[in-house]
Amino acid sequence: MQRSASNKVSWGLLLVLCGAIFLEGIDVSMMGVALPSIRAELGMSTSELSWVVSAYVLGYGGFMLLGGRAADLLGRRRMFLIWLFIFLLFSGIGGFATEGWVLIIARFVTGVAAAFMTPAGLSIITTSFPEGPLRNKALLVYAGTAAAGFSLGLVVGGLLTAIDWRWVFFAPVVLALIILLAAIRLIPVSVRPKRSSPGFDFAGAISVTGAMLLLVSTVVNAPEVELAWTIGTLAAGLLSLVAFIVIERRSAAPLMRLGILRSGALVRANLGAILFAGAFFGFQFVAVLYLQELRGWSALETGLALLAVGVDAVLAPTLTPRLVDRFGNVRVVFGGLCLAALSYALFLPVGLDWSYAAMFPTMILTGIAFALTYGPLTIAATDGIAEEEQGIAGGLLSTSLQFGAALGLSVVTAVSIIATGDNESPQAILEGFRTALLVPVGAAVLGAAITAIGFRKRKILQRIH
């Protein structure tokens, strides 16, 4: 009876945390659909409008490592609850915004809140479920829920925007409040990390946060600013990163123990996450522009077209755990990235009069690839990591995913602009899209190649043993 009650608490806890990651996914995807309506009412320029998205990415990517370490040192439950409330508060402020700058600030703070909330939630899972099949199943359910939030957000965002774009901000407030009330009751106070370090590394926190902000800003703004500015922010970001490494080497209580990067599996998982996210978000960006700008589809029609990608929400908690149990993480991730490369390659011949039947194979294969890749990457990035460093490991993975998404969007945008040139004819724009699609194909292939290194490492270990 006690074991049954414990299981109910554990899966109830997982339900709350899945609700939070679903909230984060749906919040991001709904925003993209609502942007045209926001611009129409608030009179924002194209560059100002892009900052509604960029501000969130900057807050999320810039503070993720700090958020992960704060969860480890200050308490995962405490960080999760506090930043979930801040997420709720500033999402509501965004909904009441009457000026573009208010909306941009609200999105930045919402991104910061997600940066603290997400690694706290992930590390609560990895420390609440014992390492092995049970934890793997929990992580795959968690990853599938995140993907479902993103997929469904495209459709829900279209429906809410048709009523009023402000509901894209108010709906997450309602959902966040429900999750917060459930979290207060279901996340046990005992889920707290053991402090092994004597203090908090403020110098490391400032340097790494500055580095992440500068590097993400470089990637986000590269297509729109002068080359000199891009080089300057990139150099400043790299210098801040070097300063962070120097500080961590000398600190008695480092924000991130550099030795954690000696884990080949963790490094490969994070490189894979960067390339996977870059490929996925780059492809989605091209697909949305193709459907709306060249084909004239509405936001709701576009969301419905991309809904097939949401098949991962069904496959991630059902099929993927079985494949991981049978073949292991590395092989499943490798297969997922290969399938992603194939799905994007199938979209390369896209034409001005393509039917949805011609697009469907790419949509469904992309969803299957997502199911095979995202969850196992989450497991690989946290597997074998000490309990007191689970927060920083989760923060590293989330940083990689956000940085990869920003990098993929920026490179795809730049390639499309260069390929199109000054010719704004539909055929020229289409050729630009086709050229840009080579980026996600290449990123997925490179990700598969990096993942394949794990095969050789595993064979060597097997020979040793």
| pLDDT, mean over the chain | 84
Three-class SS state of 225 = coil
pLDDT at position 460: 47
Q: φ, ψ for residue 386 (rounded to 5)?
A: -60, 150
Q: Give Cβ neighbours of residue 285 (< 8 Å, ≥ 6 apart).
A: 408, 409, 412, 413
Q: How far apart are CA 422 and CA 211, in angstroms?
A: 35
Q: How far apart are CA 304 and CA 298, in angstroms?
A: 10
Judge if 213 and 325 occupy the same domain.
no
Judge if 152 and 240 occupy the same domain.
no
Q: Which residue has the tokens 């990139």?
A: 234
Judge if 424 and 276 occupy the same domain.
yes
Residue at 4 is within a domain? no
pLDDT at position 464: 45
DSSP strand E in 38-88: where?
none
Judge if 219 and 262 occupy the same domain.
no
Judge if 164 and 244 occupy the same domain.
no
pLDDT at position 461: 44
Q: How far apart are CA 388 and CA 72, in angstroms?
A: 6
Q: How far apart are CA 354 and CA 165, in angstroms?
A: 30
Three-class SS state of 355 = coil
Q: In the numeric block, which tokens belong to residue 104?
A: 């941009």
DSSP strand E in 183-315: where?
none
CATH number for position 347: 1.20.1250.20
Q: In the numeric block, which tokens belong to residue 115?
A: 């940066």
Q: Give me Rg for the CA atoms of the chain.
A: 21
pLDDT at position 1: 40
Q: What angle do CA 457, 463, 465 make, to 5 degrees?
A: 105
pLDDT at position 198: 53
**How many CB atoms are closer than 10 A to CB 57?**
23
Q: What is the pTM of this model?
A: 0.81
Residue at 197 is within a domain? no
Angle, helix 356-382 to helix 329-345, in steps of 10 degrees: 150
Helix, strand, coil share of the chain (percent; to 5): 85, 0, 15
**Cα-based distances in Å from 247 to 2, 67, 314, 405:** 47, 18, 45, 28
Q: What confidence tens digit (pLDDT) does each residue in 398-447 have?
A: 878 878 887 887 788 888 888 887 788 889 989 999 999 999 999 999 99
Judge if 278 and 172 occupy the same domain.
no
**Structural domain span for residue 403:** 258-464
Judge if 65 and 211 occupy the same domain.
no
Calculate mean pLDDT across residues 235-256: 87
* Res 462 pLDDT > 60: no
Q: How many domains does the chain have?
A: 3
Q: Which of 36-45, 235-244, 276-285 has the weakest average pLDDT? A: 36-45
